[in-house]
Amino acid sequence: MTTTAPAGKPVGKVPADEMERLRRRYGRRHVAARCGVYGAAVTAALLCALPFLWSVISAFKQNQDLYNPESNPFFFNMPATPDHVTFLFTDTPFLTFVVNTLIVGAAVVAITLALALPAAYSLARLDRPWGTPMGIAIFMVYLVPPSLLFLSLTRVVVALHLENTLWSMIVVYPTITVPVSVWLLIGFLKAVPKDVEEQAMVDGYSRLGAFLRAVMPLVFPGIVAVVVFSFTLTSSEFVYALAFVSSSPEMVISTGVPTQLIRGDVFFWQSLQASAVITAVPIAFLFNLFLDRFVTGFTMGAVKT
């Protein structure tokens, strides 16, 4: 993209000294652009990650070091200690929260895909007159905030005897993820040229076969985006999880850590920081992996066949 190699341009009738001047100008401009890009990238990374960087340092600090307003918060003024991190794993139910989060996330993602993929295809491709209004209607569902619904949903959950179980979250979270996923998938499906499945159908596939064999591989980056998106939404949901589950062994990370690691005014600060980093890093890692594939997939999709 940034290879504005002036040497590659057709020379034409430009005199030699003029060429040389231009080449130097473009060269200088190129260097300046590279510096700008690196500067911007480093700034962005620091702005986003600084709180986490700082969390990592403070998670390993001794109490006297951490609770001293004069000590430099970016360095270890006393020897580092892993005590608070081991405390997190041995003396708190943190690992239970992690497992619960993974179970809920996987189940919700599965339900979301099973519901949203056919719905999105129906709305994006089957050209019903009600397609567009229905798509907007489904998306509007996302606008109904959890803070409005959780009172009545708690009643529903109790009526279904799901309170204090992971199932309460598995059943309710798709109401958040499905509308967004349908919306995103409609966008991805519309980006695939219609000729793709028309060709497949001319070749003898049924509508369903064309969808599964020709369209699905092309929207795969979109599906991955939806999976990651749903999982992230699920793992960071707070209000429902707080309202439905009050027993510690059934809690997920987002509610378990703030409620079980903060006892009244006693904050286990180092352990809290450690838990934030330990949760953040794998999810971001996963997201980044998928993002890469999602991005390359999208570039391939943008190339008109």
Residues from 68 through 127 that contact another protein (CB under 8 A): 68-69, 72-74, 114-116, 118-119, 121-123, 126-127
- Our CB check for another protein shows the closer of 81 and 232 to be 232
**Closer by beta carbon to another protein, 81 or else 134:** 134
Which parts of 19-58 interact with another protein (CB under 8 A)?
33-34, 37-38, 40-42, 44-45, 47-49, 51-52, 54-55, 58
Q: Looking at beta carbons only, is 24 or 194 nearer to another protein?
A: 194
- Report, in Å, the least distance between residue 98 CB and another protein: 11
Q: How many helices (H) and strands (E) does the chain have?
A: 14, 2
What's the token pair of residue 305?
């066949």
What is residue 248's DSSP assignment?
G
d(CA 76, CA 73): 8
Q: Do 26 and 9 form a contact (C-beta atoms < 8 A)?
A: no
Q: Which is nearer to another protein, 86 or 206 (CB)?
A: 206
Report the interhelical angle of 83-90 vs 269-302 (nearest 10°). Answer: 80
Q: Pick from 18, 20, 83, 198: which binds another protein (CB under 8 A)?
A: 198
Which one of 178, 189, 223, 245 is in contact with another protein (CB under 8 A)?
178
Strand partners of residue 62? none
Q: Check residue 239 for interaction with another protein (CB under 8 A).
A: yes
Candidates 146, 163, 224, 248: give the one binding another protein (CB under 8 A).
Answer: 146
Query: Least Å distance between CB 82 and another protein?
Result: 19
Give Cβ neighbours of residue 46 (< 8 Å, ≥ 6 apart): none
User: Residue 185's closest CA among 214, 225, 134, 235?
Assistant: 225
Residue 235 C-beta: closest distance to another protein, Å: 5
- Residues 6+ positions from 304 with CB-CB distance below 8 Å: 193
